[in-house]
Amino acid sequence: MAETTQFAEDPRPRRRDRPRLGRLLGRGIGPRAVGVAAVLAVTLGAAACGGSDGSGQTGAASTGGPKGTLTIADAGFTESKILADMYGELLTKAGYKVDRTSVQSTEIAQSSLESGQIDVMPQYVATYADLLNSLVNGKDAASVSSSDLDTSMAALRKLATGKGLTALDPADAVDQNAFAVSKDLATKNNLKTLSDLGASGLEVKIAAGPECATRPFCQPGLEKTYNIKVSGIVETGVDTAQTKSAVKDGTAQLGLVLTTDATVDDYDLVVLDDDKKLQNADNLVPIVNTKSLTPEISAALNALAPVLTTADLADLNKKVDSDRERSSDVAKEYLKSKNLLT
């Protein structure tokens, strides 16, 4: 499908090791800016350029394929790779030549999207809206995102327009913080939601990153929104094997995981429903350089939005991370199964 360029050494990190853009801004749980410490000295190539096709119409570059060449980037972790591979397959079907690359630096990815050196990249609605807001209005600007997808999308589209970018349709799939308890604890106390846990009066330790103690979407939010009694943080990280093991063996009673983690059940855990919508709307969304955008690109990528679910994405992540399948193969087979590829 695509030629692949790497902008940094890419050891195909497992999901639990990913340098996720989502961790610093909207969720406020961990090191949300990606790869700042890693200096990436490689310049994005001209194969990605968007611009005039010679007919006076702005669109994808005219070389390399019937409709031109597009560079699609991922952020260096499994989920982002799978989405970018899906975008590549859909755009190849639409008649474009696709170059695939991996960029683990938020700063390089953002500047390259704005310049058109990257044409398309998957992002997360709430997190990306807050990132753009911080770039436009300063790092101390109040958050523009929320648990409401429409509100977050409206803010994102306004900010993206000012940066020369377009946010296409968000997928049903959402990658949010989630909180899990052991199945035994859930059964004994009839716990199905975070409200149930708060009403139970149980005192819990949370297995999470150290930032959980002060970030609004973790301990403070659980205490304020759900009246959950938190006695401390077991510092095992976000959605790590150590976090899930700590909840399984009772070292902690509540673990910070992610909605697209399909391995939670392997540890005999159950995710409690965020019934009061504490977490932001981090639905997956394609971000496109506006000068590169054409109606064909919009139609191709928007076709995925109503099809891809959170459960689907969790299963796809598991195939790559646990079963060690190639992300490109997983993406292609999924699209075929949904009749999005012929």
The one-digit pLDDT tens for each residue of the chain (342 residues) are 554 544 433 322 333 333 344 433 334 333 333 333 333 333 344 333 333 333 333 344 434 557 899 999 999 999 999 999 999 999 999 999 999 999 988 899 999 999 999 999 999 999 999 999 999 999 899 999 999 999 999 999 999 999 999 999 999 999 999 999 999 999 999 999 999 999 999 999 999 999 999 989 999 999 999 999 999 999 999 999 999 999 999 999 999 999 999 999 999 999 999 999 999 999 999 999 999 999 999 999 999 999 999 999 999 999 999 899 999 999 999 999 999 997
Contact 260, 216 (CB under 8 A): no
User: So what's the pLDDT on residue 40?
Assistant: 34
Distance CA 244, CA 11 (A): 24
User: So what's the pLDDT on residue 13?
Assistant: 31
Domain that holds residue 49: 2-174+281-337
- Same-domain status, 267 and 144: no
- Domains: count for the chain: 2
**CATH number reported for the structural domain that contains residue 251 in this entry:** 3.40.190.120
- Same-domain status, 24 and 96: yes
Q: Please tell me the number of Cα atoms within 13 Å of 122 on its side-chain side.
A: 32
- Same-domain status, 26 and 124: yes
**CATH number reported for the structural domain that contains residue 70 in this entry:** 3.40.190.10
- Same-domain status, 164 and 22: yes
In terms of C-beta density within 10 A (0-12 exposed, 13-18 middle, 19 or more buried), how is residue 79 classed? buried
- Same-domain status, 84 and 165: yes
- Same-domain status, 256 and 317: no
Query: Phi/psi at 105 (nearest 5 deg)?
Result: -110, 120
- Same-domain status, 149 and 259: no
Last residue of a domain, one of 272, 289, 305: 272
Q: What is the pTM of this model?
A: 0.80
* In-domain check, residue 21: yes
